[in-house]
Amino acid sequence: MPPPHQLVVEADGGSRGNPGPAGYGAVVIDPQTGEPLAEAAEYIGVATNNVAEYKGLIAGLKAAKALFPSDDAPRVHVRMDSKLVVEQMSGRWKIKHPDMKPLAAEAARILPPASVTYEWIPRAENKHADRLANEAMDAGKRGRQWEPSSSTAALDAASPAVPLDLPPVTGPPGDAVAGAAKARAAMASRATTAAPVAPATTPRTGWGTAPDLGAPATFVLLRHGETVLTPEKRFSGSGGSDPELSVAGRGQAAHAARAFADRGTIQEIVSSPLRRCRETAAAVAGRLSLDVRIDENLRETDFGAWEGLTFGEVRERYGSDLTAWLASPDVAPTGGGESFAEVADRVSAARDRLIARHQGRTVLLVTHVTPIKTLVRLALGAPPESLFRMELSAASVSTVAYYADGNASVRLLNDTSHLR
């Protein structure tokens, strides 16, 4: 019996908003020559990053299988920059989210599990699939389908691939090259077309003719005042102690309350359940004679075993975990913490719920660094790594407005003028 063909699948998915307009890309590669054998990409409408990543994996595995429809199943090595998908499909992480379970099951059915291996790679090594995903999202934004003939994804690959260290197969030399030639012939005999997609949004009109969308829901985002952990820049999330405001933090909360009273624009107050936020919110509420409503989804990230540690201490104790966390929003801190992707899911849910409830009103959200940065990132359609490129001081104010057509506008970021 001839040995199975070896292929590499690189896949990626993205969402501009998480959830937002989403798409995936996948490429099948000959591991010996580095030559792309098949590409797949699709705009999938509004979805999360994780859903798009799984869709990319499924498309890549199907494309690999289709190259050899009459032969034994190929041996496939999957490379992705989604730590979540790689770890879940490898069986090392449990699949908790109900949206992920059917996608993972579908991916597992495409090829025999023993013939598929998974490897996490940095985003910089996944440029081809990343480009395909972005091309698909760009096409969807224009209300069009992704077209292989117009793709430039291969040009964005970092460099010609080198032979990968895959599990060896037996058989005469040239099997992989012959397989690649057969794959190219199969590709040439099939015209791959994607189904037309509906426009992602209603086409926008010019500034002068834009419809009146009414007053937006405006979220004034107030980070809580300092605690004893803040000046030392220690990880302080929702999984460790629940520190109160320090003397300096109570002073900051009082300054913020005075500023909001002077402006007179706040109509509602919603707070994280954690003590430092509730105390900050109470100071403002007392000045404005408003009640404070608690929203559990506005809590800070659970940093697991890193709670209470400095960045340097985490680097010393959990170096490899920290490196993986910095590289992927799907990676959670050591010890059962919460990934940035998981935080984005619950913050998005809170955002949508609050927008629906407070359209046309100005609401003060008293929360933490990660939820505020996440709301700003999603409003801008910025990638997850932008979380590490924003500065948010204690008791700082940021503002995002949400319009009836689904668009958002970031109006202010990290304003501390009220503290001077």
Residue ranges for the known binding site for substrate are 276
Token pair for 321? 């975990």
Active site residue 300: yes
> Which one-letter DSSP state was computed for residue 90?
T
Give the annotated binding-site residues: 276
Distance, CA of 167 to CA of 152 (rounded, Å): 31
**Alpha carbon distance 352, 360 (integer Å):** 14
Q: Which of 5, 77, 128, 224 is catalytic?
A: 224
Is residue 244 among the annotated active site residues? no
- C-alpha to C-alpha distances, 409 to 138, 217, 380, nearest whole angstrom: 21, 11, 8
Give the side-chain half-sphere CA count within 13 A for 210. Answer: 11
Q: List the catalytic residue out of 10, 53, 279, 300.
A: 300
Quote the Cα angle for 20-24-30, to 5°.
Answer: 165
Q: Which of 116, 99, 117, 115 is nearest to 54 (CA)?
A: 99
Dihedral of alpha carbons 123, 125, 130, 131, sign: positive
CA distances in angstroms from 322 to 267, 306, 317, 326, 337, listed in the order given: 40, 10, 9, 6, 12
How big, in percent rounded to 5, are the helix, strand and coil portions of the chain? 40, 20, 40
Burial class for 103, CB neighbours closer than 10 Å (0-12, 13-18, 19+): buried
Half-sphere exposure of 160 (CA within 13 A, CB side): 5
Active site residues: 224, 300
